[in-house]
Structure 1
Amino acid sequence: MAFLGSGAYTSELLIFLSQLDVKRFSYRIYLLNAEDANSDRQLRNFEKFCEPFSSYQVENLISHCSFWRKVLKYIHYLRIHKPDILICNGPNSCIPCCIAAFIAKFCFISHTSVVFLESYCRVTRLSPTGKLLYYSPFVDSVIVQWPSLVELYRQTDYIGWIK
């Protein structure tokens, strides 16, 4: 399951996903803001290049509901789909999804691992969303793309630049 933010965040996450083994992740679920036509277009173009036997589903999100209502909606998605992993990046709109995964784990609804991918443009410090998730129990891994960030934030995972 991947949470697609918007704009450049979507592009960056799709580049990351393109490097994963499509056969291992042959069924993918995307959480996408219903009002984000640009990310929807990027996603559909991305999926054209995936293996023909793979399939995906898009869950359209409502952006104007309350924080806790979003959390409950995400818990519902996690209960239905039971993904092994949730990958998110960028905007603070992914925080309710990460909290939902934490609650679902705590309540034995789902055992989804949560990975936050910090943006390539973050060279000297984590983004506000990255900091919040780094210091919280809501994610299992924070991935950074610059070695200087690992020196400051020892619990991050360095993977190098996503190309």
Structure 2
Amino acid sequence: MVIWTPNFVLGVTILLAWALFSRVAYVLASIWFGGPTAIRKGSSIKTLVVLGSGGHTSEMLKLVAGLDRARYHPQVFVIANTDKLSRDRLNGLSKQNITSNETPPSMAKNQGLAGNGGYELRSRKKFANEASDLDKQRPKREQAETEAIVEIIPRSREVGQSYVTSVFTTIFASLCALKIVVKHRPDLIIVNGPGSCVPVCMCGLLLRMLAICNARITFVESLCRVRSLSLTGKILYWFADDFIVQWPDLQAKYKKSKFLGRIV
């Protein structure tokens, strides 16, 4: 029988606080100094990608095009509810099966890409002469490799919105982002600067500290950022496992960053 004396309660509280502090310290040390990941060799990497409007979406889709779908799957795309451009870009991706509770069925159709240099995610190896009826009999694992999932979250802050009201919208967006991260428990979160990615990354970091998932955060600064970081970059510089810049001047100023040349 446990006797809940004040000293016992105090001791349990101190023990839990120490365990939490140790976990937080371990995660932050892993981020800053590089630590092991929980992904087994040969296993699939559940990937969550945050899209932003305009140039952010264009750069991110070019980046994702270089991922091997046989390795990085399933892929979950998170879009702000007012970001029609990103929805249209995803709707135009060829050879993809896009599913979403919030997305109309028309987005699930395979459509070609208009124009040259379209943004096409890398597809699995295909056999040109394979009959359509055999294609329908593919194993579930192969179907998962070609499947993309769309999740919608509220925008943290609209252009011109006051900072006072943005506090409440950011909290609401964070709660919605937490639901998505808990649902998918990604192994990898890839972001490149839109404001919507901050709540998602913070939720991923929280769940990692609580040992619910081991989401590794990769931030790729926008190509247009030559000498200074974006606001999102300045925030995630301290929490991203991989912080990638595309100009040597930025790498010289921010020692934790990695310069891999132009990657988008």
What TM-score results when the alignment is normalised by the length of structure 1?
Answer: 0.89
Aligned to 1:161: 262
TM-aligned CA deviation for residue 142 of structure 1? 1.1
TM-aligned CA deviation for residue 112 of structure 1? 0.5
1:88-127, Cα deviation, whole Å (9 max, x unpaired): 1122232111111111111222211111110001111211
Contact 1:14 1:46 in 2 (8 A): no
Output the CA distance in 2 between the equivalents of 1:90 and 1:162: 15
Output the CA distance in 2 between the equivalents of 1:60 and 1:93: 10
Aligned to 1:152: 253
Which protein is bigger by CA-based radius of gyration? Answer: 2
1:40-72, Cα deviation, whole Å (9 max, x unpaired): 111232353442641011001122762222222
Aligned to 2:17: none
Output the CA distance in 1 between the equivalents of 2:254 and 2:229: 9
Structure (1 or 2) with the greater strand fraction? 1
Aligned counterparts, 1:55-74, within 5 A? 55-63=147-155, 66-74=169-177
TM-aligned CA deviation for residue 139 of structure 1? 1.9
Write the letter of the residue equivalent to 2:231.
P
Aligned to 2:51: 4
Write the letter of the residue equivalent to 1:105.
R
SS in 2 for 1:142: strand
Output the CA distance in 1 between the equivalents of 2:208 and 2:241: 11
Output the CA distance in 1 between the equivalents of 2:210 and 2:94: 33
CA RMSD after TM alignment: 1.8
Aligned to 2:163: none
Aligned to 2:203: 100
Contact 2:51 2:194 in 1 (8 A): no
Gaps of 5+ in 1: none
SS in 1 for 2:87: helix
Output the CA distance in 1 between the equivalents of 2:63 and 2:80: 19
TM-aligned CA deviation for residue 24 of structure 1? 0.9
Contact 2:50 2:196 in 1 (8 A): no
Output the CA distance in 2 between the equivalents of 1:96 and 1:26: 22
What TM-score results when the alignment is normalised by the length of structure 2?
Answer: 0.57
Gaps of 5+ in 2: 1-47, 96-119, 125-142, 157-167
1:139 is aligned to 2:240: yes
Task: Return structure 1 stretches of 4+ with deviation > 3 angstroms.
Answer: 46-50
Aligned to 2:27: none
Output the CA distance in 2 between the equivalents of 1:34 and 1:143: 27
Flag the 1:145–1:23 CA change in 2: closer, same or farther, 3 A.
same
Aligned to 1:51: 123
Write the letter of the residue equivalent to 1:157.
K
Aligned to 1:33: 80
1:88 is aligned to 2:191: yes
